[in-house]
Amino acid sequence: MFNVSTKTQYGIRALVHLARAGEVVGHVQGNPAATAAAIARSESISPKYLEGILSLLTTAGLLVSERGKHGGYRLARPPREVSMLEIVEALEGEIKPVDCIDSREVCAQGGSCLPRLFWLGLKESVDGYLSSRSLKDVLEGEADDGRA
Amino acid sequence: MFNVSTKTQYGIRALVHLARAGEVVGHVQGNPAATAAAIARSESISPKYLEGILSLLTTAGLLVSERGKHGGYRLARPPREVSMLEIVEALEGEIKPVDCIDSREVCAQGGSCLPRLFWLGLKESVDGYLSSRSLKDVLEGEADDGRA
DNA sequence: GGTATTCCTATGGGAGTGCTAGGAATATAC
DNA sequence: GTATATTCCTAGCACTCCCATAGGAATACC
């Protein structure tokens, strides 16, 4: 349960790759931007598949792309300022255990829906974890910050 | 993301239904056991579909079934003693964001897999939330216990 | 113009979800 | 012991989503 798609896994690995290489907009302009093909090779990911993923991250504002020859991708912000929640939501959509999660009203089913509060709590727990980690934390292998 | 299947949603609603009706093994022997058909009717769930779900919960040891005429289902334990983690795992399997979550060794991909620690932390966060809630908590609509 | 890149759209196999259907096994009632 | 009410087991099916793969259009550098 709670399987994370390869799309998200690959996306995160690509972002970690860029972060490790210091590919951030503004910084280290000497470096050429990293191409999708290069990241795919280095991370053993299908190149064409990764292309689409990087496009999504660009649309979401997490990456900046340069087209044409010597083009490629860079992080739009330093890793410290990118929360994992942003990344995951960009690729998988909102954390939403059940569909009725946003409607403050009662569920489709008529009566009182007690489980909804339970699912809401789960969403908050997951959102809390994801938003408390930055790309930099993942890069540095920090599994937890001491407080569960 | 993190969609919970109807199987699990229906299963939980059925368990809440049984808990509310006081259908616990040993207690209130006067009551007839609740049938799948009756629960399905009351909760507006497809009867045949619910049958399979209740069977799963029986196999998992959360319900006790009685076959034949006047048969039905009862909770195997009082609601206070049933953790939501048990229920969810019985219906959806282990919480496992990525497949490499149990292998202490490095992922399939050769090098160091930093994201694995991150996913492990997510699993622990979800497991923690689920194991901290009992069926009774859900029944009483307790969304949180005060501590995030 | 040639080349290297991102970007867009379409396609397809495979797996999982959400049921539906039919009947076998089992227990009670008369 | 037959009828009846229930759980239990297996199979199947439409639908959607996942995981790519493919081909080419748009763009930018040389």
Task: Report the alpha-carbon distance of residue A63 to residue A58 in Å, rounded.
Answer: 4
Interchain CB contact of B127 with A (< 8 Å): no
DSSP secondary structure string, B35-103?
A: PHHHHHHHHT--HHHHHHHHHHHHHTTSEEEE-STT-EEEESS-GGG-BHHHHHHHHH-S--SSGGGS-
Lowest mean pLDDT among A20-29, B10-19, B99-108: B99-108
Which residue's CA is nearest to the C1' of nucleotide C2? Answer: A69
> Of A24-28, B28-32, B62-66, B138-142, which has the strongest mean pLDDT?
B62-66
- Asked whether the predicted pLDDT for residue B89 surpasses 80, the reply is yes
Q: Which of A64, A83, A90, A68 is nearest to A134 (CA)?
A: A83
SS3 A142: coil
Contact A96 B2 (CB under 8 A): yes
Taking the alpha carbons of A137, A142, A145, B1 in that order, is the dihedral positive or negative? Answer: positive
Q: Which residues in chain B touch residue A13, judged by CB atoms under 8 angstroms apart?
A: 115
CB contact residues (below 8 A), chain A span 18-47, against chain B: 43-44
Q: Which of A75, A108, A122 is nearest to B95 (CA)?
A: A122
pLDDT of A115 reads: 85
Task: Report the alpha-carbon distance of residue A107 to residue B73 in Å, rounded.
Answer: 26
Question: With the CA atoms of A104, A105, A110 and A111 taken in that order, what torsion angle do they form, in degrees rounded to the nearest 10?
Answer: 70
Say if CB A31 and CB A22 are below 8 A apart: yes
User: What's the start-to-end Cα distance of chain B, in Å?
Assistant: 21
Model confidence at B148, pLDDT cuts 50, 70, 90, reads very low
pLDDT of A107 reads: 62
Which nucleotide is nearest to A10 if distance is taken from CA to C1'? D19
Average confidence (pLDDT) over B81-85: 97
Whether CB of B55 is under 7 Å from strand D: the answer is yes
pLDDT of B109 reads: 55
Chain D: bases < 7 Å from a protein Cβ: 3-10, 18-23, 26-30
d(CA A125, nearest CA chain B) in Å: 7
pLDDT of B104 reads: 62
* Per-residue pLDDT tens over the stretch A87-111: 999 999 999 999 888 776 556 554 4
pLDDT of B114 reads: 79
B67 φ/ψ angles, rounded to the nearest 5 degrees: -85, 175
Q: Which residue has the tokens 């093909």?
A: A37
Task: Report the alpha-carbon distance of residue A106 to residue A42 in Å, rounded.
Answer: 49
pLDDT of B134 reads: 97
Whether CB of A3 is under 7 Å from strand C: the answer is no
Task: Report the alpha-carbon distance of residue A125 to residue A102 in Å, rounded.
Answer: 16
Say what the pTM is. 0.90
* Per-residue pLDDT tens over the stretch B31-58: 789 999 999 999 999 999 999 999 999 9
Apex CA B121: angle with CA A147 and CA B95, to 5°? 130
Average confidence (pLDDT) over B77-89: 97
pLDDT of A45 reads: 96
* Per-residue pLDDT tens over the stretch A24-82: 988 656 678 999 999 999 999 999 999 999 999 999 999 999 999 999 999 999 999 99
Give the tokens for residue B6.
Answer: 């109807």
* Mean of the per-residue pLDDT values of chain B: 89
Q: How far is the CA of B47 from the C1' of C22 (A)?
A: 15
CB contact residues (below 8 A), chain B span 63-122, against chain A: 84, 88-89, 92-98, 109-110, 114-115, 117-122
Q: How far is the CA of B141 from the C1' of D10 (A)?
A: 38
Which residue's CA is nearest to the C1' of nucleotide D10? Answer: B52
Give chain B residues 61-100 with Cβ within 7 A of strand C. Answer: 66-71, 92
Model confidence at B102, pLDDT cuts 50, 70, 90, reads confident
- Asked whether the predicted pLDDT for residue A132 surpasses 90, the reply is yes
Q: Which of A113, A123, A98 is nearest to B141 (CA)?
A: A113
